[in-house]
Amino acid sequence: MRAVVMHETGGPEVLRLEEVPDPEPGPGETLVRVEAAGVNHYDVNERAREASRFPAILGRDAAGTRADTGGRVLVTGARGCYAELVAVSEERAWAIPDSLSAATAAAIGVPYRTAWWAIVELAGLAEGARLLVQAASSATGQASVDIGRALGATVFATASTGKLDRVAALGAEAFAYDDPRVGGLEADVVFDPVGAETFATSVAALARGGRLVTPGAVGDPTVSFDVWNLVDRQARIIGIGSAPAARATLERLIALASDRRLRPVIDRELPLEQAAEAHRLIEAREVFGKVILRP
Average pLDDT, integer, range 117-135 = 97
What are 105-116's pLDDT values in tens digits?
999 999 999 999
Q: What is the largest CA-CA distance in the chain?
A: 59
Whether the predicted pLDDT of 40 surpasses 70: yes
SS (H, E, C) 162-211: HHHHHHHHCCCEEEECCCHHHHHCCEEEEECCCCCCCHHHHHHCEEEEEE
Which pLDDT value is given to residue 218? 86
d(CA 175, CA 187): 14
Among the residue ranges 27-31, 32-36, 243-247, the one predicted with the least confidence is 243-247
Which pLDDT value is given to residue 101? 97
Q: At the top level of CATH, which class does the domain 111-239 belong to?
A: alpha beta
d(CA 190, CA 184): 12
Average pLDDT, integer, range 102-127 = 97
Instruction: Tell me the C-alpha to C-alpha distance, in Å, between residue 138 and each of 8, 27, 107, 185, 264.
Output: 26, 37, 12, 21, 11
What are 195-232's pLDDT values in tens digits?
999 999 999 999 999 999 999 888 899 999 999 999 99
pLDDT tier at 243, thresholds 50, 70, 90? confident
Domain at 2-95+265-294, CATH from 3.30.1360.170, 3.30.2130.30, 3.90.180.10, 3.30.830.10: 3.90.180.10
Average pLDDT, integer, range 237-253 = 91
What are 42-70's pLDDT values in tens digits?
899 899 886 668 999 999 999 999 999 99
In the 8-state DSSP scheme, what is residue 97? Answer: -
Q: What percent of the chain has pLDDT over 70?
A: 99
Which pLDDT value is given to residue 245? 82
Which pLDDT value is given to residue 53? 82
Which pLDDT value is given to residue 109? 96
Cis peptide before 55 (omega within 30 of 0): yes
Q: What angle do CA 285, 164, 268 make, to 5 degrees?
A: 45
Where are the CATH 3.40.50.720 domain residues in the chain?
111-239
Which pLDDT value is given to residue 49? 82
Mean pLDDT of the chain: 96
Where are the CATH 3.90.180.10 domain residues in the chain?
2-95+265-294
Q: In 3D, which of 63, 207, 55 has the Cα closest to residue 132?
A: 207
Which pLDDT value is given to residue 51? 63
Q: What angle do CA 275, 279, 282 make, to 5 degrees?
A: 140
What are 159-208's pLDDT values in tens digits?
999 999 999 999 999 999 999 999 999 999 999 999 999 999 999 999 99
pLDDT tier at 233, thresholds 50, 70, 90? very high
